[in-house]
Chain A
Amino acid sequence: MLEKMAEETISIPNGFVQNPVGGSNPSVAKKKRNLPGTPDPEAEVIALSPKTLMATNRFLCEICGKGFQRDQNLQLHRRGHNLPWKLKQRTSKEARKRVYVCPEKTCVHHHPSRALGDLTGIKKHFCRKHGEKKWKCEKCSKRYAVQSDWKAHSKTCGTKEYKCDCGTIFSRRDSFITHRAFCDALAEETARVTAASNMNNLAHSGLNYHLMGTPLGPTMAQHFSSIFKPISSSDEILDQTRRGLSRWMGQGSQAHETIGNTLQEIHQLGSVNSVPLYEGPLVSCSNPPPSDYQLNWVFGDKLSSANVEALSSTSLLLSDVKEAGTPLVSVPSLYSSQHYHQATSASMSATALLQKAAQIGVTSTDSSFLGSLGLKCSNNQVQDGDKYCGLYGSNSNTIGNALGSDVENSGSDITTLNQLQMYPAKHRHLQSDDSSGGQTRDFLGVGVQAISCHPSSFNGWI
């Protein structure tokens, strides 16, 4: 039987044909996790045929031939055979890390350089991407190839709530989408955008691409791409987001410290986890002066090292941002159209650099969070701050379990935020930075004007 298994494996140039039953030897040292898809060059590459990969009982007992799904189960079983001591020991080889390639030729993980380190991981990947979707959610009839994905989805299906910018909450996704398409909040945003001045939106796409360095897991990608999708760039995007942010940021607060203060407040609020995520793109969706540029690099670094799945890690960003201080301060300036010109000249070099970074950093998967969020910020006319507000409600839930915030919390967060904006901060959290220089203007001053348009959009059409 072992031989039979061996026949099914594909020999590859890198490693040598390995007996898939070899099993993973427990390593003494703590396993270091690499980035997905970037395997340890020393590792042994194993290529399994689809059949072998999907075989449920890959671990066979050499004595009785019984098959087991997991190596641990096999070992337990072997004990029952009362083997003499010598045979009890596994044929120990040196503990060698094994990585697996996807048998699907067209897949990016087929090449050994992009092998995945975990057998279960490669199995799931193969099923998800190249497999038949056998599992179906009853409630929404969404289909899954991997049973655990399906189970996870079933738990949360129907419990999500979607919140539109106008304030209406939906339990059903389809009615949310239809409403969104016709909602006044959508229309108003575009109207304001076309009236605003133009900015180079490529810069923003650059910003955003850089921001989100790591590809997202499929779930998140789906969620996000479902709401924001890369679209053809248009000029008014930034204005849109500028407006949006100003709306989000301020209800007339005058002091720039408030922003930092607010962010801190956000951080302290219960549902922080969802907020920072949007903080990132929001902040980056601007034409930053050099100090902002640094900020974004800070963001970028933080993000690239963060495990994207654990969104709580993004909360770290906020704290870093706060400490970085001034860059944040200067961001809102971009949202004031009156101060636009001043901001623009300072920002060109930074945006050009970021643009280049974007071109390097763009991943091929369109549906990645990176792409969608980034482009969303920069390219979408409709993507406005209002939306972000709405996003706190809707996306925080769509992002899922990790965030754990419900719509009400998000809603209250926003109102709290708004309230916070009203009162200037008592003490500065941010360092004063010369580079941020002449940024003593009232960034949120224009926010007042923006806000006046704002309430109507919240009225929506309820």
Chain B
Amino acid sequence: MDITLFTSSKGPQFSHTFFSPNNNGDHIALDMHSNANQQHSHTSTSRSSVDSAGGVAGCAGEPYGDTTGNKWASKLLKECARAISDKDSSKIHHLLWMLNELASPYGDCDQKLASYFLQALFCKATESGQRCYKTLTSVAEKSHSFDSARKLILKFQEVSPWTTFGHVASNGAILEALEGETKLHIIDISNTLCTQWPTLLEALATRNDETPHLKLTVVVTASLVRSVMKEIGQRMEKFARLMGVPFEFNVISGINHIGELTKETLGVKDDESIAVNCIGAMRRVTIEERERVIQMFYSLGAKIVTIVEEEADFTSTRYDFVKCFEECLRFYTLYFEMLEESFTATSNERLMLERECSRSIVRVLACEEDEISANNYGEECERRERGRQWSDKFKANNFSPSGFSDDVVDDVKALLKRYKAGWALETLPQEQQQGGDNINNNNNNNHHENAGIYLTWKEEPVVWASAWKP
């Protein structure tokens, strides 16, 4: 099997040399079902041509549904995942081939999902996940620059509150917790490229009282981010000057494990009021290390710790491939659909974001845990956990939920109003309310009431934001 299939910059399209379906219906090196002897047309991005060829539906029969309908990708992908889990190689081949025919990173949602998940499934089946991930990452790094990153992230923030939700909530919590303090030190361990801070700087500048001194220490682990941090720092400093906020900016890079950070390495001084801001970074910590990181936060003596994570669970299911796959598919289906509705059809930014997802998906589904720690990739784990799971961890480590004040909640709601319809703020995700165990729910409801707010899209919780105090 040719792993180099994935090095083409166009994306994870299979090369036809692998499967080489020709018009005779001859399939080389594949053990296909007898149904597959029908002719299949060339892969195309439009569904209609698939249908006109007689379609996969005819080939595969009812279980895969009608390709003109929705969710064909989901069904096929899940079947394939099950086949991989069962190690049914003929079925695996068959399904991989079918997905390959139908998938495209440039098509509609289903086709995209099929394409990216197919890549992960393929890697899983061929045990080439690690290599694939490395290749994808290096490809991305080459085309990565300050300009492209900036354009991407700002455009995303403009069309969707996915990230700005966390920004507004965290900034609000930080401002309130550090109200009246004169020397602020914010430790930022995030994937936001500092886009959260201009609004905070502006808020500090327009406060009624004395403008405090702000020191911002950014911790960078992802290689992609390191390269642009210098430029970002300069912009932040300039902007702070513009706002009239005394400002100091530090970058800590070269750290492989966040848990190793200490007060000294972060430059925490005794007269400073500390806030720790952790957006989209907890999931990148290896699962075993997570408790340690939370303890490290505690040791910094922060007045407030803000955590924002995406609402998905790839952690508790990590030993059950099918469950993990289904959860992954569920989450990314939401995400891709959200992207499709938020961006224009031809948006390049959306394509970039989708490609980022492809790396994540490969990482979660096709990379073995022991491989990761052995290779010492640092914090690139990508195994998300739900808000409730993070909450439990924080509570177990001497943190108590700080909650968001009414003002902050109002701010967030006002923010959501500024975007397209479909977004809402919830204090509890739906499933908790529908939980089967009523007794537990009643007890837990109070517990979880303050443990964060959820951003929901079409009533599905997607992002969780919380604030913690020691």
Contact = CB atoms under 8 A, between A and B. Distances in A.
Specify whether A and B are partners: yes
B235 A186 contact: yes
Given A178-B199, A230-B244, A461-B147, A138 B239 contact: no
B198 A187 contact: no
Interface string A167-198: 00000101101111110001100100000000
B251 to A, nearest CB: 16
A380 interface: yes
A178 B154 contact: yes
Interface in A367-392: 367, 372, 375, 380-383
Given A141-B411, A382-B238, A226 B202 contact: yes
Interface string B210-244: 01000000000000000000001011101101111
A250 B443 CA distance: 70
Contact of A231 (B236, B243, B417): B243
B464 to A, nearest CB: 21
B418 A141 contact: no
B238 A229 contact: no
A141 B239 contact: no
Nearest to A183: B235
Interface string B25-49: 0000000000000000000000000
Contacts of B246: 232
B179 interface: no
B154 A380 contact: no
B244 A229 contact: yes
- Looking at chain A, what size class is its interface with the partner chain? 35 or more
Contacts of B197: 181
A366 B243 CA distance: 13
A174 B211 contact: no
A383 B236 CA distance: 15
B8 interface: no
A173 B238 CA distance: 19
A182 B157 CA distance: 13
Nearest to A230: B244
A231 B411 CA distance: 27
A187 B235 contact: yes
A140 interface: yes
A229 B240 CA distance: 10
Contact of B413 (A141, A175, A190): A141
B206 A367 contact: yes
Given A141-B407, A222-B206, A174 B238 contact: no
A228 interface: yes
Nearest to A225: B206
Interface string A231-242: 110100000000
A174 to B, nearest CB: 5
Given A178-B157, A178-B198, A229 B414 contact: no
Interface in A107-157: 136-141, 143
A178 B197 CA distance: 8
A175 B157 contact: yes
Contact of B198 (A140, A180, A226): A180
B107 to A, nearest CB: 28
Contacts of A382: 238-239, 241-242
A230 B211 CA distance: 10
Contacts of B164: 174
A228 B246 CA distance: 14
Contacts of A179: 154
B151 interface: yes
Contacts of B415: 174
Given A228-B242, A461-B147, A181 B198 contact: yes
- Nearest first, the 8 A-B pairs at minimum CB distance are A229-B244, A181-B198, A231-B244, A181-B239, A141-B414, A141-B410, A382-B242, A229-B205
